[in-house]
């Protein structure tokens, strides 16, 4: 048996199946949460809205059907495979037609593979959704190391190390000679490192966030103005990021014991980072969508190790791509959603970081593009892939 055949044989079919006992314990903890100890909080202004959390948790207890969401996740083919000592979980939906393009899509924090439930089918089978079969992709969507259904690294690792693991998934395990990578949030950083470190296999990337930075910094008045505004905008966002990049373990002692605590920590980000109508989080997301993502963190008990990626990125050197200002040379598509919480810099700045081949300024949407605007994201990925074939 060849090395490739041995790797493929190591892929084990996987099905999400949370024990009834786990669901009962979660319900008990949500039901027992001491709401009477929580003071009125003045809306969303200094944290997750108390009234909304009470409403969400009442729905969690009375109406949310995890088994229905579990079945929706399981309608796709899931596998695990050992890579660098980690049992990596991934969804693998083979595309229609004779020659679908391999597409690796990566989530971030506080997300999960649940973000992709509305884009996997249209990407893999466009002919079922009014598109052309020529645009089909083999879609591979892993749970990042330490997140969800993947195993835990022995200590924190960052997006560059994760990119190496995901490249091995695509090449050594699944046997693809080349592929495209797509991502938002940490998936954008991982895709960037795939294009930079693994260009022999990762032939192009599509990102809907700009996480990387120049060692030399802004070069024009427009770029310097963007940087100053960016830093002002991030003042009220940096608390969670600093905590998770420096002392994630301390936070996790409380969170691992409280489903409501995890829910509040994640929901606040979905409200703040999305293209909502004011503070109406349900103008974008249903309670089922929010709770499905939350339940992946709670049922797998991975809040702790999922937060490690911030610590790992700090150890890897932070946001700077390279000290000598080299760029990602593989063709790159940039999808700019207007409510992205990490505001995009001018294109001149981005082009010193990436070989930009496609630049799309979207009419709506925010940080969680696959959940917020799946149709816009799918069409932009398709258009980019078409251009690569010309």
Query: Which residues are the active-site residues?
Result: 185, 310, 367
Please state whether beta strands 179-183 and 137-142 pair in parallel, antiparallel, or not at all (unpaired): unpaired
Q: What is the chain's Cα-based Rg?
A: 20
Q: Say how far apart CA 252 and CA 350 lie, in whole Å.
A: 35
Q: Does the CA dihedral 368-374-377-378 come out positive or negative?
A: positive
**Alpha-carbon gap, residue 176 to 198, rounded angstroms:** 13
Whether the bond between 31 and the residue before it is cis, its omega within 30 degrees of 0, is no
163 three-class SS: helix
Q: How far apart are CA 38 and CA 152, in angstroms?
A: 34
| Number of Cβ atoms within 10 Å of the Cβ of 5 | 10
Q: How many CB atoms lie within 10 A of CB 114?
A: 22
Q: Angle at the Cα of 316 (from 265 to 303), degrees rounded to 5?
A: 25
Distance CA 160, CA 165 (A): 9
State the Cα angle at 139 between 382 and 131, rounded to 5°: 35
Q: How many CA atoms lie within 13 A of 364 on its CB side?
A: 10
Angle between helices 238-246 and 248-255 (to 10 degrees): 100
Q: Measure the CA angle with vertex 101, ends 150 and 163; round to 5°.
A: 35
Q: Nearest to residue 108, comparing CAs of 164, 77, 56, 146?
A: 146
Assess contact for 297 and 168: CB atoms under 8 A.
Answer: no
């Amino acid at each position: 048996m060849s090395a490739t055949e041995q790797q493929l044989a190591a892929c084990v079919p996987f099905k999400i199946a949370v024990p009834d006992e786990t669901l009962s314990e979660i319900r008990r903890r949500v039901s027992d949460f001491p709401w009477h100890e929580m003071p009125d909080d003045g809306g969303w202004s200094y944290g997750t809205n108390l009234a909304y959390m009470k409403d969400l948790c009442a729905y969690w207890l009375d109406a949310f059907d995890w088994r229905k969401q579990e079945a929706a996740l399981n309608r796709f083919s899931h596998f695990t495979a050992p890579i660098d000592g980690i049992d990596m979980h991934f969804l693998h939906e083979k595309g229609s037609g004779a020659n679908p393009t391999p597409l690796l899509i990566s989530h971030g924090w506080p997300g999960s593979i649940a973000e992709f439930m509305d884009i996997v089918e249209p990407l893999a089978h466009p002919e079922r959704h009014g598109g052309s079969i020529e645009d089909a992709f083999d879609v591979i969507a892993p749970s990042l190391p330490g997140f969800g259904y993947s195993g835990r690294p022995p200590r924190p690792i960052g997006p560059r190390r994760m990119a190496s693991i995901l490249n091995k998934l695509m090449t050594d395990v699944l046997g693809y000679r080349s592929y495209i990578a797509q991502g938002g949030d940490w998936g954008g950083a991982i895709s960037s490192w795939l294009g930079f470190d693994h260009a022999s296999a990762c032939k192009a990337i599509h990102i809907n966030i700009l996480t990387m930075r120049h060692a030399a910094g802004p070069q024009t008045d427009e770029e310097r103005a963007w940087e100053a505004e960016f830093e002002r905008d991030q003042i009220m966002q940096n608390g969670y990021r600093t905590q998770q990049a420096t002392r994630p373990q301390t936070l996790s002692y409380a969170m691992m014991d409280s489903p409501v605590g995890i829910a509040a920590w994640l929901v606040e980000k979905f409200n703040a980072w999305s293209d909502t109508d004011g503070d109406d989080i349900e103008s974008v997301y249903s309670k089922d969508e929010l709770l499905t993502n939350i339940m992946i963190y709670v049922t797998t008990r991975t809040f702790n190790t999922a937060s490690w990626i911030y610590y790992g990125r700090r150890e890897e050197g932070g946001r700077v791509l390279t000290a000598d200002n080299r760029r990602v040379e593989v063709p790159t598509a940039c999808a700019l959603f207007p409510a992205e919480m990490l505001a995009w810099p001018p294109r001149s700045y981005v082009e010193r970081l990436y070989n930009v081949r496609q630049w799309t300024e979207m009419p709506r949407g925010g940080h969680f593009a696959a959940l917020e605007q799946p149709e816009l994201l799918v069409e932009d990925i398709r258009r980019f892939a078409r251009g690569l074939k010309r």
